[in-house]
Structure formats: C-alpha cells, structure tokens
Chains A and B, each alone.
Chain A
Amino acid sequence: MNSNDLLKEFIDVFYFIVQNMLPVAIPLLLVALGGMFSERSGVINIALEGIMLFGAFFGCLFVYYVQNTGLNPQVILLLGMVIGAISGFIYSLLLSVAAVNLKADQTITGTALNLIIPAGILLFSRMYFNSDGVTTRVRFYISKIPVLGDIPVIGRLFFQNTYITVYIGLLLLVICTIFFYKTRLGLRLRACGEHPHAADSVGINVYRMRHLGVGLSGILGGIGGFFYAVGIMDGNVNGHTGVAGFGFLALAVMIFGQWKPIRIFFAALFFAFFRTLAPSRSLIPFVRDMNINAAYFKMLPYAATMVVLAFTSKKSRAPKAEGIPFDKGQR
C-alpha cells in the first residue's frame, strides 16, 4: 500500500466517523441539556434514562401507526419528535410534582421512574404486539442533501449519510443557549439552582422555576430519546435494551460539560466519538490489525465516562442548591 492510498483510506475513515458521530452526539447533547435545565433550577434529574425511553416509545409508536400512510419520512420524524417531547414532558411531571411540591427525595424518585418504564414497555408490547417493543420501518436516513451535500469537504462531512435530527439538535442547542443566558426566565432559573433563598427574597417563585426546569428536561429528554431510537436503533424501541444507559451517559456529559450548554456540546461529541469507534474499528487500518474483541470497543464510551469523571469531578462545580427541596422557612 503506498502512502497515497493510506492517506485516502484515512480520510475516508475520518468522514465515516464524523458522519456517524453526529447522530450519536445529538441525543446525548439534547438529553444532557435537559439535565442541565433541571439541575440548574435545583432538581437532580436521575430520571433522564426513563424520560428518554418514555419519549422514544411514544414517538416510535406514533411512527408505527402512520408509517403506511405514505407521509414524507421527514415529516413523520418531525411529528414523532413532537410526540416524544410531549410524552417526555408528561413523564417529567411525575418528577417535578414529587420533587417540587411534595419535597420527595429526588434521587429515589428518579430511580423509581427509571425502573418503571422498561417493564411498562415490555408489558404493553407483549399485550398488543406480542413482541418486546415497537419496530418501525420508515427510512429516515438521508444519503445526500441536495445542493448542500455537493459542497466540497463540508458537504461530505455534514450533509451526507445523515439524519435531520442533527440539524434539529444543533438548532435546539442554539435556542437553549440563548434562552439560558439571554432571557429573564433563564436568569431566574439559574438563580434557583444556586441560591433559591436569594431568588425568593427578590420575589421569584422558586417552585415555578423548578417546574420549568424539570419540564424542559422532560421535553428535551423525550426528543433525545426519540432521536436515539431513530439515529442509533433504526427506529426500534424495546424494553430489554431500553436506551442502553444513554440517559446516564448524558448525565456524565452534563457533568463533564460543567452544566454549561456549549461545553456540554463538546462533551457530547467527545463521548459520541468513543461510541463511534466500535462500528468504525474495522475501517481503521492499524486498529483492525490489532484484532481486539469488539466487546472492548463497545465498552469505550462507558469506560471513558468513568475515567473522565474520576479526573474532572474533583474540580466540577455542581449547582449549589441542587437536590435540596426548597423550604421558605429555612434561612
């Protein structure tokens, strides 16, 4: 193999990784952003995994029922996204009511919410589909976007072999960042996670802000879950694999991203990169030659989580008041 071939092969691998990485990064990004809203308003959201799965399930259920109507796949995807967002929001209400109004322990509530969903999906799917989940067969995949896909380099990197979830995700990132830092609600929400008593003393309704934070995490978590099912599972949701720990991975992304939107974006790319290495390994020349068991590659994002958190958690600065139910009478 001469060096020219090697270079070409290398470039191909690079394109492949970027094209595969983005659809993986987006669900992580959205769910982590959701976690960020919730935690910066003061509510720990362990339930992201469950919220994702809930959104994914109803999103896919919707796709399942409309897939024979001949609707444009991208329209179906957009509608599915809305369904995912709504169901995620509804599910998150369980957390916000328990955590904000009833002052329940947030970690325990979140864990319970995670446990119910896979079982619920199994039960439901057995009853109605005689299977362990929903499988859809709409092709959301876009091999090339007209015009944009022809731009040299950039076209191949970002507008070929992709899903529109990528663009929606990036758009949501921009919106979330602006909302978070530039609006009144964003400012107030952040105050409630740091010093709710300060917020209360200037007349901000802490309970309402926390409902908002958790609600946003429900919406983003639901969308993220649906995008996971679309971009990673090829439109399948089942009660066994669920979302394969992506909700927890998103928590790690959020912490690695220091509860800040742009950093979370890069953290999501980082984890998505490791996740993409597993399917790409046969393409990368020297890795292919090493002959390592595929299982090790699949472990990578999870192992990276542990390593990264072990090194960064010492310096990480969580919202000060997160996890503590707000009590007006305290001082």
Chain B
Amino acid sequence: MEDNYIIEMLNITKVFPGIVANDNVTLRLKKGEIHALLGENGAGKSTLMSILFGLYQADSGEIRKNGKVVKINNPNDANALGIGMVHQHFKLVEIFTVLENIMLGDEPTKLGFLQRKQARERIMKFSQQYGLEVNLDALIEDISVGMQQRVEILKMLYRDNEILIFDEPTAVLTPQEIDDLMEIMREFARSGKSIIFITHKLNEIMAVADRCTVLRKGKCVGTVNIKDTTKEELSRMMVGRDVSFSVNKADANPGEVVLSVRNLSVPSSIHKTNAVRNVSFDVRAGEIVCIAGIDGNGQTELVYALTGLERPSGGTITLCGRDITRASIRNRSKTGMSHIPEDRQKHGLILDYTLEENLVLQRYWQPEFQNKGFIRFDAMRSYATRLIDQYDIRSGQGPVTIVRSMSGGNQQKAIVARELDKDHKLLVAVQPTRGLDVGAIEYIHRQLVSDRDAGKAVLIVSFELDEVMDISDRILVMYEGEIVGELDPKTTTVQELGLYMSGAKRSTVKEMSYA
C-alpha cells in the first residue's frame, strides 16, 4: 500500500516561540490527486507546507518520497525532489519582468551569460500546454494579482515540479480567475502531477479535491474522502462546532447620510486615464452598501480617494457634513472614518511592530494612551489584551508578538479589531474576509452587521458574489471606473449582478442621478 503515496509527512512537529504550530501532524499525498488542506487561521497549514518546501525544518518527524526518507534542508532540496510551491504571499521580484522571475534561480546560461531566448521558449511551451497566457516582458509590479499567480505557477512548471503546493491561491482571485485556476489544477492532476491545495473556501474543496486533511490548532483532526463528506462536516471538523454559512440580519433602517460622494474622479496609477470617472453615491447610517465588480474596475482607486491614500482629480467627498476631499488621513479618521484596507501588509499593519502596538495605531495619541507625549504602556497592554480576547486573535506571544510572524488570517483579524473598536461613523472595508476561515468569516460578518445596527454606515468592496449578496443592503456595481447600476440584493439574482459586473448591462443615467 505504502508505495501509493508520493509524499508522506509523518508525525511532524514544529514549535515556534510560544506556540506549537504543528503537533504530530501526518499528511499523505497520493500521486495524481488533489489533496486539500483545511484549517482555521493559524492552524499551521502554511508552516507544514513550508517544512515540505524546505523553508523551515521540522523539530521532529520525517518526510518520505515514494517511501524513501528524504531530508529537505532548503528550497533547493525540495526542487530537486520535484516539489514546488506557490506561497500565500507571492515571492516575486517586483521590478523584474515575468521572464526574469520565472527563470531566476534556474537560468539557462552560456559562459555565465543569460540565454533569455532559451528560457522564453521553454516557458512558452508550458504556457501553451496549460493555457497559462502571460506577457513575459511585463514588469511584475504592473500586472494584476491573478497574473502574478500565473507567474508563480509557471515557475513550478519551468522547474519540472511534480508535487505542487498551492497556499491559499484563490484568496486573491476573482470568481472567473478561480474557475480558471480550478480547471488548471484538474489538468495538472490529469497529467500526473500531485497537488496540495490550501483554501478556506469549502466550495472549492468540494469542487476539485479528492481528499482533504483537516488541521485544528496545530493538530491533525483527520483525512476524509471528499466524495463521502459535506461542507457542514468539514467545517465542523475544522472549527469544532456548527458554522452558519449565511448571514442573519434584520432589514436595514437607514438614517441620515454619512458619506456623500459627488462626481468623483481619481487618476489611475498605471494608465493616463482616470480610474474612477465621475462617480456619485451616498451611504447612510445603518446600512451596508457593497461595491461589487470585477477586480481592477476602479474600486481600489475609489477607496484610495475616500481614505486619503490618493488625491482625487475632481469631485467632492463629504463625511458627516464635512468636506474631506483634501483632508489628511488622520483628519478623516478623526471625523469618523475607519478603514480595513485591501492590502493588509502594506496599508494595514506595521509588520515589524508588536501586535499591541499595531492595535493602538489609530489611537495612541488619545489621552487614554498617552501622558504628556509618553505612551502609557499599561493602558496599551490592557486595551490590546481586551481586543485580542474579544476578536480571538491567535498568536504565539499575545500582545508582544511581532505581527510579521502571525498567520495571514490573524493579521486580518487584528486590523478588523482595531478599526471596529475605534470611534467611527463610517467603516470602509475592502475584502474584509479575504483569507479568513469560515468561522472567522461568520464572526466578521456578524460584527459588520452589528456595526450597522449600532447606526454606523458601512461601505464594503468585495469581489465575492456570495458575500455581496449575503451581507449588503444595497449593491452598487462598478465597471470601468463608473457606477453602472444600483441593485437591491433581495430582488436581484447572482446572474443579473454578473451581467452588470461584466458590463453587459447598465442602468440608465436618470435612474442613477443624484440631485
């Protein structure tokens, strides 16, 4: 039987300061299967895969390939064994071209000189074989996240890897891109490659995986055949209780206008044209407005303008009756804006600060936390401890954990905690549940709804149709920088929403006009 498995990770234990990230975990991968790895945020999935890829060494346990014990001390060893990985946070050099990134570390050379043409031909071969089209001469910093992921996948193919690890590949993709990726993974499996697939989305597991191993708090809960299981059972294994997949909320009771946007235009960072064109809308107290749309239709720029990360080129933004079009970020925050940014590592956290420092970033200057300019550390500590408890932020060393070492999902929870707890009238949240496990999503959705019920205005940007339909009271659809429709989630369908998002349908201007 044993020789059926191409990779076996047996009784792996890995300890980080203050936390056992993997506790006696066993995972067996069959040749040609898609094996899902499921677990809550911080359950130790990325750690386990990093061990397989040679980035970390296990404290105990062994790894076997085709039944033979192997030592994987670094990514080179992993590569030699045919193991490749798409990391949760991509490992791409932004100022290099796609071509350079793919060949980096395994460059064809003649007398030390790069043979770009040779590499190019090799990559083109794979890109055609699997339908992974990319522009090899584009710079990484200029291409979309979905494209960057293709680059990561091509990196593995280029190295002839036969064991492919995908660490949360779908967290950053649009629904269309996710479908494409699933198809590509199936194609890989058909051609004999073996895949480990980490995701928090149970639908995806049900759709592509053959088997699934579930981790909880570093321990292995078990491995199941997808054919014999259900979403509900998987989530119960993972969280240890039943999880509700839909949001329970009362009807909205909108009050006065909190945020009012008029004729807003925002320049694009890449193109010469405006990324946001003449956009007007209102958000009222006590309602959740979702901006739906395919990634890259101006949502990012719109939020940048609202939150002060970028200057609009025209129009006005009014928050609680004050014109904040040109206000500083601190000023916006004081006027009542909270912001859960799209890129948590870039705009949400200072990765090398501790968790408690990150939690008071919006408030350290308030009298509660300072005394004549000196930080009151005791107040900071007790505040952080309260938030960590309340929002269930898991980390190795509690308030003093360096945020960089925390798992992706827990980093997100830290931001959510900070922004929701701060005094605010408006919450702007971009992809608030990206990368979170089902338990955490349920929790955050509940938080958003109770924020609404407490009379706050909530504006959410999401690329996930289910989320949009579930949580919003009103949907605005953005397409090519414009708002092309306003829909009521109770009366619309996912199909109709899709038509608006793809630009196939739009409401008349009259319907949309604001006085």
Contacts and interface: CB of A to CB of B under 8 A. Distances in A.
B100 interface: yes
Interface in A187-234: 187-188, 190-191, 194-195, 197-204
Contacts of A8: none
Majority-rule SS of A interface residues? helix
Contacts of B96: 187, 190-191, 194
A330 B404 contact: yes
Interface in A161-200: 182-185, 187-188, 190-191, 194-195, 197-200
B95 A194 contact: yes
Interface stretch (B84-92, B321-329, B382-390, B507-515): B84-92
B105 A182 contact: no
Interface in A275-331: 317, 320, 328-331
Given A184-B114, A202-B105, A320 B94 contact: yes
A175 to B, nearest CB: 13
Contact of A198 (B53, B79, B92): B92
B93 interface: yes
A207 to B, nearest CB: 12
Contact of A201 (B55, B95, B106, B114): B55
Interface in B111-149: 112-114
Nearest to B85: A201
B164 to A, nearest CB: 14
Contacts of A187: 96, 100, 104, 107, 114
A331 B93 contact: no
Contacts of B313: none
B74 interface: yes
Contacts of B106: 202-203
Contacts, number: 73
Given A187-B100, A187-B107, A203-B75, A198 B93 contact: yes
Contacts of A202: 75, 79, 91, 104-106, 155
Instruction: Point out which of A182, A201, A317, A329 has the most chain B C-beta atoms below 10 A from its C-beta.
Output: A201
Interface string B377-412: 000000000000000000000000000110000000
A319 to B, nearest CB: 9
Interface in A114-170: none
Given A184-B107, A194-B95, A201 B87 contact: yes
B76 interface: yes
A232 B485 CA distance: 70
B101 to A, nearest CB: 8
B105 to A, nearest CB: 3
A182 B76 contact: no
B471 to A, nearest CB: 31
A331 B89 contact: yes
B113 A194 contact: no
A280 B91 CA distance: 52
B33 to A, nearest CB: 25
A204 B94 contact: no
Contacts of A204: 104-105
B109 interface: yes
A201 B92 CA distance: 10
Contacts of B405: 330-331
Interface string B69-80: 000001110010
A188 B104 contact: yes
Contacts of B75: 200-203
Contacts of B109: 183-184
Interface string B36-75: 0000000000000000010110000000000000000011
Given A201-B87, A203-B75, A331 B105 contact: no
Contacts of B114: 182-184, 187
Contact of B404 (A201, A203, A331): A331
A183 B75 CA distance: 22
A178 to B, nearest CB: 8
A157 B55 CA distance: 57
B112 A199 contact: no
B344 to A, nearest CB: 14
A202 B107 CA distance: 11
Contacts of A200: 55, 75
Given A182-B113, A184-B114, A195 B105 contact: no
Nearest to B90: A198
A317 to B, nearest CB: 8
Nearest to B115: A184
Nearest to A321: B93
A203 B112 contact: no
Contacts of B104: 187-188, 191, 198-199, 202, 204
B93 A195 contact: yes
Contacts of B85: 201
Contacts of A330: 404-405
25 contacts: A182-B113, A183-B113, A184-B107, A187-B96, A188-B105, A190-B93, A190-B96, A194-B94, A194-B95, A194-B96, A197-B91, A199-B104, A200-B55, A201-B55, A201-B91, A202-B75, A202-B79, A202-B104, A202-B105, A203-B105, A320-B94, A328-B55, A330-B404, A331-B89, A331-B404
Interface of A: 182-185, 187-188, 190-191, 194-195, 197-204, 317, 320, 328-331
Query: Nearest 5 pairs between A and B by C-beta?
Result: A202-B105, A203-B76, A198-B91, A194-B93, A201-B91
Interface of B: 53, 55-56, 74-76, 79, 85, 87, 89, 91-96, 100-101, 104-107, 109, 112-114, 155, 404-405
Given A199-B93, A201-B85, A203-B76, 16 more contacts: A187-B104, A188-B104, A188-B105, A190-B96, A191-B93, A191-B104, A195-B92, A199-B104, A201-B87, A202-B75, A203-B105, A329-B56, A330-B404, A330-B405, A331-B89, A331-B405
